[in-house]
Structures are given as C-alpha cells and as structure tokens.
Structure 1
Amino acid sequence: MLTFYSLFTLLHLLPTAALAAAGGGGGATSPCETSCHPTHCMSFISNLQSSSIPPDNYSLAAVDQSLTITRSTAHFLNQAGRVGPAVEDCLELTAAAADDLELVKEKLMSSKAIKAAEADDVMTLMSAVVAGAGSCLDGLEEVGMAGGEVFRRVEAAKLVYGVALGLVERRLASMAAAPAVITNGRPTNKSSTIGSLIMNIPFDQTVTVAKDGSGNFTSVNDAITFASHSTRSSSTFFKIIVKPDIYVENVVVPKRLTGLVLEGSGMRQTFITGNRSAGDGYTTYQTATFAVNGDRFIATGITFENTALPQNKQAVAVRNSADRSIFYKCRFISFQDTLYAHSKRHLYLHSTIHGTVDFIFGRAAAVFQFCEILPRRPLPKQINTITAQGKDCPNIRSGFSIHLSSILPGKDLIDKSDLFYTYLGRPWKNYSTTVFMQCYMDGFVRPEGWVEWGEEVAPRTIFYGEFENYGGGAGTDRRVRWEGYRRMGKEDAERFTVGEFIGGDEWIWNHSVPYRSGLLDSDNIGRE
C-alpha cells in the first residue's frame, strides 16, 4: 500500500494523487498552487491574510465558508419552492453536502495526527461535496435552467467547494501521522458463494422481504423504512433478505441508513425493477430504480433493472453515492446510463453490466473487478460508449478502474456488431480518468478504443490508460493519439488497483469478499 507521503509522486493522475502536492515537502510554495481554482483561491487567501488568520486555519476557514454558502443555497432553494425535479435534486444534494462538510470540519478541528486512511476519508467527503454540486448543475442543464439564478448560486458554491478541497488537502498533509502497517490477513481470490461475503459481518437485525407475504415485509421499500428507524451500533450491519421474485418499485436507501446488507437469492431470481426515464420528464438523477446514499452498503445476488425503452434516453438502474460500498454478484440492466457511480468509493465485483450509451458513468472512485461488461444493441445511428467518467478537477477522488474483467457483446449485438460501433469510453469532463487493466476485450471493440465527446477535442488533462489487456479488441496500435491517452506500465497500473485506488485493503478484507488487492501476475492473465 502507498504510504501517505508517497502520494506526492502521483499528482493529478488519480483520486489519491494530489494529497501531498498540496502540502509541505512536495515543493509547493503557495497554498493555491494545486488548487482547482487558483485565482479564486488566491483571492480567498488574501482576505484571510488581511484578517491575520494563520495558515494552519485556512482549510477550516474554507470549510466554514463552504458550510455558509451551502446553507444559504439551501435556504434560497427552499424559498423558491419545489419548482421541478432538478431543484428537488439540488435540495437533496445540498443537504448531503452540509452533512459531509460538518464531518470534514470535525476532523480538521482534531488535534490528533491523521493517518493516511483517515485523510482519504476526508478527501472522499470533500470530493463528494464537489460531485453533488456538479450533479445539481447537470440536472438544471437537463431541464433548461442553466444560467438562471439557481444555477448561478450552485455554480458559485461549487467554486468555493473546489477552493476548500485544495486547502483541506494541504492541511491534511501537514497533519499526517506515520503510516500504519497492515497486519490483518487478506482474503483469497477464489471464494464463490454468497455466504462468504457476509459471514464475518456482525448483524444487529435481519428481516425478510417476500411478495407472497411469507416474510416480514412484502416490499423492499417497507423493509428499508423499517431499517432506517432501527437503533443499533454504527459499526454493525442490518440485513434485508429479499426472496425470489420481481419487485417493481423505485427504492432509495437514505443517507442515515448506514451498514445495510441487501441479500437476494441470486441475480436470476431476485429482481428490483423500475422504468423511470428522462423521456418521461425525470432528471437523470431521479430515474434510478435503486438509489443508495447510506455508507457501508453491500448488495449481493440481485438484478437491478430499468426497463425504459432506449428511445427514452437516460434511464438509470442503480445510482450509488455510498462510501465503501460493494455490489457482489449483481446484475445491472438498462440502455443509456445504466450504472450511475455517483460519488465516493465503490467496488463492483463478479457482476454483470448491460447498456449502450455511457452506461457506466459518474464521479465516483470505483473499481470493477471480475465483471462482465456487455454492450447491447443501441438505437440506429447511435454508438456504444461503455464509460463516461466525470472528474473535473485533478484533486478530486474520482475515476474508474476496470480490472480483470471481460468486455463482450450482448446477445443482441453478437451478429450485428459490424453495424454498431463500441468504444471503451469518452471524456465527460476535463480530467476524466478511466483505465482498463488485464481485461479480455472481444474483437467488436473499435480499434481506436476511445471516442470524443461530440465534436469536442479530447482535453489534454484526461487520463485514459490500458494495461496488459488481451483479446481481439485489445490491440493498441490503432488507438487514439490523444495526449491524455497512454499505454500504461506496471507502476502506473498499480495505482489503479483495489488496494491503492480505493484503499480497499483498509475496509474490504474483513468481509471475506473474493477480491484481488493488486495486479495479477502477467503469466496468469486470462486464466482467472
């Protein structure tokens, strides 16, 4: 595992990269040198200096200002009334930002040294605050409210969050403790039973959902409402067992419900399905069949599906904003925007993802390992783009790593793949970060590999990489010649593993999940 200070070497390449670049010892001479918004940062610092606030308190002052503008924005939104779905999204995201900023403030006010894992937790929270503002702006653009007063206020808040992000990062570097040595055993990579996922998890309570009335509840939503009001330790879990059936409902796991395990009977037996879509007037954020906001969430043995037709545009099956969340042996089915990896740190393991346009998208730091990714038949004249990652600042903990997975044509694409182009991804934002490592790529993947966002030239600041992939679509000789694209070496690739990229060895190992912390030995690629 990278030590806290070795992160200095990774500036802007990945979510954990900019930590030390913002602090002492890395050569940075200005508090704003690595800021998302250096000009605004310098203006903010100048005001603090005129007030004789010491440099050690810059980050706390920035978080306080972030809280002030968050509360002001929330007040304005409430005064404006619920004038549409996009404003409703902004209210929800603003409330989440206030909660996360309070946690950041609490940590910064501590007099104790901060370990690397704790620093990543704080930066994950700050990154989620920025991501939430970005999602709010996305929704306002979707409904034609770009440029209005609501948009301008949220845009201003997002700028303040970006300044605070850099200053918090710098402060964390100065508070760093000596790195701890991990001594716990780690799991094997071969376990295949659902039981292995949950055997070491302490449950306070277990309830069952069954449509036939044989359980405690007949709907998933009712069980989640019950769990949300349960009283239990913050370190334990609440388990909901979902019996085989098709549950037609839109489900939201609230932010206050942490440590939830949702256990189905298998991805071909337990289904949670809905049909909301942008074509029916919802924002992309609201189309999710299943949305999870509570941290430490685990799902296993379930298919999540959005059955909206492809002509209805964005239709999310799962939206995930839960930190340290795991989806194990699950299936995600839709067309456009299937899986919204919204924010924070995720692991998708031994799962299957179907879709067409940008069907894995969002601003999270997410690893997809031992997954099957199955592009399906798009609309006429459409192209398939597997990923659309939304990192818009180098400091943000954000990016997608697809590792030891398979890129295969869906059943409806197998005999028609020559008619539809499929690409690994396209850059949604200026620092879009996506890598494919040690994956099998079928020959239907376009030789260019990646494609521009519309008519826009790919920003030079993106990080798109490939490492030791194999199969008919893995050749890199004809790949794009973008400045931000690279054939990665082993050192770069290691930075995008479960252990490094999302700090998985700190929080996954004790669930007995069959994940791989690092890279697979080159001689064994294709054998697992």
Structure 2
Amino acid sequence: MAFNNKTILLSILFFVSLCVANGVPPETICGSTVDPTYCKNVFANQNGNIYDYGRISIRKSLSQSRKFMTSIDSYLQGGSSLSQLTIRALEDCRFLADLSFEYLSNTYATTNQSNNVLPTSQAEDFETFLSAVLTNQQTCLDSLDTIASDQRVKNDLSSSLFDDIKLHSVTLALFKKGWVPENKIRTSWPQNGRHLNFKNGCLPLKMSNSVRAIYDSARQHGRKLLQTNGGEDSVLVSDIVVVSQDGSGNFTTINDAIAAAPNNTVANDGYFFIFITEGVYQEYISIPKNKKYLMMVGEGINQTIITGDHNVVDGNMRLFANL
C-alpha cells in the first residue's frame, strides 16, 4: 500500500490529537505533588490532562470533607458518654470542616467551568482557600491531640485526617499547576479585600477624621505597625470600635465587638476595625461567616492576650501588633 505525504501528515495529526484527547498517565501529573506515590494511587487507572486530574482531585477532596463531617456528627449525636474536652474538640473540628467544605465547593464551582489559568487575583483567592483547608485539618488534629479519655474517637478521626491531608495536598498542587498563572508572584498581603500592602514595615490605613480620632485616643503606645497617612494604596477602614476590659471602650469583650460588625460587607466598604486594648481576654473567639473584612489589632506583644480552651493547644493566643 502506498502512502503519500498528505496521508502520513494526516496520520500524525490524528495520532497527536488522540494523545491530547486521551491525556497523560498519572505518573506525568503527579511529579509536581509532595507525595507522587500517594498521588498515583489516587488516580489509578485514570487518564487526562491537568484540568481533568485537578477536578477529580477536588471532587475527591469534597467527598472526603463531607464524610469527615458525617463522622464528627455521628460522634456528637451520641456524645452523652464523651468528656467535655472531647466534645469541644469535636465542635472545633466540625466548625473547621464546614469552612473547608465551603472553600472546596467554591473552588470546584469555578474550576469546573475553566480549562485555563484564572485571573491572578482570583487564582490567589482559591489558592488561599485550598491552603486554608490544610490549615484547618492541622488545627483539628491539634485539637484532637488534647483528648485523653476518648482514645477511640481520637484515633478514628486522626487517622482519617492524616489521609485527607495527603489528598488535599494533591488538590492544592494540581490547582496551582493548572489554574494559577506561571508568572504569578505574590508580593503582598490582601488589600481592601485583596492584598494588604506593608510599606517600610507599616500598614497604611485610610480612615475618616472621626474614626482616626477614636483610634488615636485608644492606642497608648507608639505606632510601629500601623500608620494613618491615607495614601493611594492605603487600606480603607470604614468604622472602628474599641474593646477594653475597664469599660472605657465600646465593648468589654471581643465577641461582642465582632457581633457588632456589619454583615456581608464587600471589599469596597472597607474594613471594620476592632482595636483591643491591653489585657488578658478569657474568650473563645468565633467569627461567623457573614462577618467579612474584619481587622483585629491588639496593643502590643504580650500586652493583648486572648486565652481560652478551644483550638489552641496551650489555650493562649496573642495579638502581636505593636502600635
């Protein structure tokens, strides 16, 4: 049988198209992940391009996140025999798992519609979400480590978490490879809802004269971290409240100040600034999902201290801002 150049060329193009359609094996994709061996097991008998693998991984992460919440709920529903320490650890993990499921759901909703890199700012947002999922998993593990009496609960959930952390790590790696621009360079923190720009070690704030007057009267120490020069790149502050245990501020507890923040604000509204004066605040801080764009600043290292028995293993959290 004779073949002319056109026939050969068409055959080559067909072969290339077939390869692109079929994608690549897991070995090719998993090289960019932290644990390639685990990654290849996740995608056994799969084939596709980076976006196919990424979406599969996100779906698996979503499924595992849902299963983990179900496991926690089953323990909490039958928790009459559990210690208070165990119940608190489970409640912490349930709250974090709910956040993680929301982050993964939002990520999947976007990536399921895209076979290309996302705009840089959007890619950074979802990369932050997926990183937060890993942080939430580790925080839950830390909380479970405090359990002494209910070892079965601890061992069961910890084992699940270790596996899930591996899976979520794969999800993050593939998201970065598929949807994050290669030339993306993170140069700053989120500003006005996106990135907070520290200049010369200071965070410039833009606020009205009335808000600035409250801020200046509340702080007692020289400002090193924050400045209120109101420049073009300054972070907009919409309102300010002061938390002070002696009753001289707007609130005596941090949670009351959080409750006073407006609901579901947007970036252009600016930040709701909560200034926390010197003291030891014995509170379990919980920020509802509808309280967006909050900025909490303490009075200085070892001056504003939040202490409680949830989430943090040693029961203490410090706000290190020197003002």
TM-score band, normalised by the shorter chain?
A: 0.5 to 0.7
Q: 1:129, 1:187 → 2: CA distance? A: 26
Which of 42, 45, 54 matches 2:43?
45
Which contiguous aligned blocks of 4+ residues in structure 1 show a shift greater than 6 angstroms? none
Matches within 5 A, 1:182-261: 189=200, 193=223, 196=227, 199=230, 200-227=234-261, 229-235=262-268, 236-242=270-276, 244=277, 246=279, 248-254=281-287, 256=289, 257-261=291-295
**Matched residue of 1:317: which SS?**
strand
Residues 400-429 of structure 1: CA deviation (Å, up to 9, x unaligned): xxxxxxxxxxxxxxxxxxxxxxxxxxxxxx
TM-score (norm 1): 0.41
| Matched residue, 2:133 | 129
Instruction: Quote how far apart the aligned CAs of 1:187 are.
Output: 6.8
Matches within 5 A, 1:86-235: 86-111=89-114, 113-116=117-120, 118-144=122-148, 145=151, 148-172=155-179, 176=181, 189=200, 193=223, 196=227, 199=230, 200-227=234-261, 229-235=262-268
Letter in 2 for 1:329: N
Instruction: Quote how far apart the aligned CAs of 1:138 are.
Output: 3.4
Matches within 5 A, 1:101-500: 101-111=104-114, 113-116=117-120, 118-144=122-148, 145=151, 148-172=155-179, 176=181, 189=200, 193=223, 196=227, 199=230, 200-227=234-261, 229-235=262-268, 236-242=270-276, 244=277, 246=279, 248-254=281-287, 256=289, 257-263=291-297, 266-267=299-300, 271-274=304-307, 276=308, 282=309, 285-286=311-312, 314-318=314-318, 328-329=321-322
CA RMSD after TM alignment: 3.7
Aligned 8 A contact 2:61 2:167 in 1: yes
Instruction: Quote how far apart the aligned CAs of 1:65 are.
Output: 1.2
Q: 2:302, 2:36 → 1: CA distance? A: 52
Q: 1:102, 1:218 → 2: CA distance? A: 37
Aligned 8 A contact 2:64 2:164 in 1: yes
Aligned residues: 252
Q: Does 1:59 align with 2:42?
A: no
Q: In the superposition, relative to structure 1, how do residues 45 and 29 fare at CA in structure 2: closer, same or farther (>3 Å)? A: closer
Letter in 2 for 1:252: I
Q: In the superposition, relative to structure 1, how do residues 136 and 269 fare at CA in structure 2: closer, same or farther (>3 Å)? A: closer
TM-score (norm 2): 0.63
- Percent of counterpart pairs with the same letter? 20
**Structure of greater relative contact order (alpha carbons < 8 Å, 6+ residues apart):** 2
Q: In the superposition, relative to structure 1, how do residues 197 and 157 fare at CA in structure 2: closer, same or farther (>3 Å)? A: farther
Q: 1:253, 1:198 → 2: CA distance? A: 31
More strand by share: 1
Q: In the superposition, relative to structure 1, how do residues 205 and 36 fare at CA in structure 2: closer, same or farther (>3 Å)? A: same
Aligned 8 A contact 1:114 1:177 in 2: no
- Unaligned 5+ segments in structure 2 are 1-25, 188-196, 203-221
Q: 2:264, 2:121 → 1: CA distance? A: 28
Residues 346-392 of structure 1: CA deviation (Å, up to 9, x unaligned): xxxxxxxxxxxxxxxxxxxxxxxxxxxxxxxxxxxxxxxxxxxxxxx
Letter in 2 for 1:68: S
Instruction: Quote how far apart the aligned CAs of 1:33 are.
Output: 1.2
